[in-house]
Amino acid sequence: MKILVTGGAGFIGSAFVRMTAGGAHSIVNFDKLTYAGNLENLKPIEGLPRYTFVLGDICDAAAVEAVFAEHKPDAVVHFAAESHVDRSILSPEPVVATNFMGSFQMLEAAKRHGVARYTHVSTDEVYGSIDEPHDADETWPLVASSPYSSSKAGSDLLALSYFKTFKLPVVVTRASNNYGPYQFPEKLIPLMISNALDHQPLPIYGDGQQVRDWLYVDDHCRAILAVLTKGREGEVYNVGGSRALANLDVVKRILEITGKPESLMVTVKDRPGHDRRYAITSEKLERETGWRAEMDFEVGLKATVDWYRANREWVSHVKSGAYRAYYEQNYSNRLSAT
Ligand code: NAD
Ligand code: DAU
């Protein structure tokens, strides 16, 4: 199968490309290389005969058409997105453009070219905050809270509409919070690891009791492969890690592993519209495809810390330049905990 992957230079997309590029499938990776896209993430598979990188923007209809026309993919796995909630609050426009209109361009091209399978990578954030004791299944209403999650909810519904209306063979995955190597240090786990290793303050939003369900990135990629090959057209599949933890507990574990003091934690102003709790069930995916989350959180977190410790150069490259401006903008107005 020839698979067109979008956003394959980012955190999850590059893990998917590293997992699949040496195997039975041909992979074409279409990526704009935004601040989050990094060809260093693909060094381990560079030069493989059935792997091709194409620089391009999913919002650019002509570029999207060209990649479909030239490579004639059998399947699409659409990861490309502006993926950070805080950035979507500071600057929603590129988030809405890429996540909604970019996804629209991808669906249109896939429809014109008649692909056999279209996997749209969505998120559990489309369900919004979920009160205890509930876990959302795929029928849960979509109540997104941020420009990021609402643009993802919009594109998720748009993708499903292309199945209903045009019979495009779409499947949608809604995964929980991923962690693992190569994650840009703007998200909770890599930011806390990298600040702890540098003995810098660890900014906790609000009371730190918000709950996230942690999924190791390779488990997510195996789920996408399972859905790509065994998922039913027009269906949605939740992908959870079955490891719900409060942010404060995650950060304390990182401090333990890195051997740093809890005094590095600082309470800062909360994120506006902050979702309190994400919780999903992956029972449908497990039942229909046999997929299971395999990585134990303690083992995965330790492996992730080890990776960041061993790859300080990767971290210093991605933290140079534009990252500093973003960090200043996001955290300077949060210094007080009110
Ligand atoms: P990321 O920010 O690490 O990577 C995004 C990638 O998309 C980058 O390589 C970037 O260059 C590329 N990209 C961005 N805009 C583009 C455009 N206009 N055209 C082409 N390429 C573009 O993101 P991630 O964390 O790897 O997330 C990948 C996907 O998975 C996203 O759709 C995200 O919503 C979804 N998701 C993420 C998580 C998570 O915890 N990170 C959980 C569930 C779902
Ligand atoms: O649930 C899936 C989603 O998980 C994905 O769709 C998103 O792409 C991904 O970014 C992630 O969204 P979150 O908002 O949950 O992730 P983030 O890492 O930004 O934050 C996780 C929790 O940690 C959240 O409650 C906010 C908190 N936080 C985050 C940062 C960056 C802090 O307390 N301090 C911080 O500095």
* Contact status, residue 108 vs residue 94, Cβ threshold 8 Å: no
Query: Hey, what are 73's tokens?
Result: 């993919």
Which position among 82, 125, 218, 275 bears the catalytic label?
Answer: 125
Place of tokens 């030069």: 47
Q: Per-residue pLDDT for 338 more than 50?
A: no
In the residue annotation, 326 being an active-site residue is answered as no
pLDDT by residue (tens digit) across 185-230? 999 999 999 999 999 999 999 999 999 999 999 999 999 999 999 9
Query: Hey, what are 331's tokens?
Result: 């955290």
Task: Kindly state the average pLDDT of the residues 139-168.
Answer: 98
- Is the distance from the beta carbon of residue 80 to the nearest atom of ligand 1 less than 6 Å? yes
Nearest ligand to the CA of 122 is 1
Nearest ligand to the CA of 60 is 1
How far does the centroid of ligand 2 lie from the alpha carbon of residue 186, in Å?
9
Phi, psi dihedral angles at 266 (to 5 degrees): -125, 135
In the residue annotation, 124 being an active-site residue is answered as yes
- Radius of gyration for the alpha carbons in the chain, expressed in angstroms and rounded: 19
In the residue annotation, 131 being an active-site residue is answered as no
How far does the centroid of ligand 2 lie from the alpha carbon of residue 85, in Å?
7
Non-local (6+) Cβ contacts of 271 within 8 A are 85, 86, 89, 205, 206
Q: How far apart are CA 170 and CA 95, in angstroms?
A: 22
pLDDT by residue (tens digit) across 292-320? 999 999 999 999 999 999 999 999 999 88
Nearest ligand to the CA of 124 is 2
- Is the distance from the beta carbon of residue 123 to the nearest atom of ligand 2 less than 6 Å? yes
Task: Please state whether the predicted TM-score (pTM) of the whole model is above 0.75.
Answer: yes
Q: Give the confidence band of 321 by pLDDT, cuts at 50, 70, 90.
A: confident
What is the pLDDT at residue 333?
81
What is the pLDDT at residue 200?
97
Non-local (6+) Cβ contacts of 126 within 8 A are 142, 144, 149, 152, 153, 156, 174
- Is the distance from the beta carbon of residue 31 to the nearest atom of ligand 1 less than 6 Å? yes
User: Helix 322-332 and helix 312-319: axis angle, to 10°?
Assistant: 70
Ligand 1, residue 33: give the atom nearest the CA.
11
Q: How far apart are CA 279 and CA 286, in angstroms?
A: 16
- Is the distance from the beta carbon of residue 155 to the nearest atom of ligand 1 less than 6 Å? no
Residue nearest to atom 15 of ligand 2 (CA): 177
Burial 20-39 (b: 16+ CB within 10 A, else e): bbeeebbbbbbbbebebbbe
Of 16, 34, 60, best ligand 1 pocket probe by most atoms within 8 Å of the beta carbon:
34
Residue nearest to atom 17 of ligand 1 (CA): 57
User: Helix 217-230 and helix 11-20: axis angle, to 10°?
Assistant: 60
What is the pLDDT at residue 325?
85
Look up residue 295 and give its amino acid: M
- Is the distance from the beta carbon of residue 210 to the nearest atom of ligand 2 less than 6 Å? yes
- Is the distance from the beta carbon of residue 148 to the nearest atom of ligand 1 less than 6 Å? no
Q: Per-residue pLDDT for 22 more than 80?
A: yes
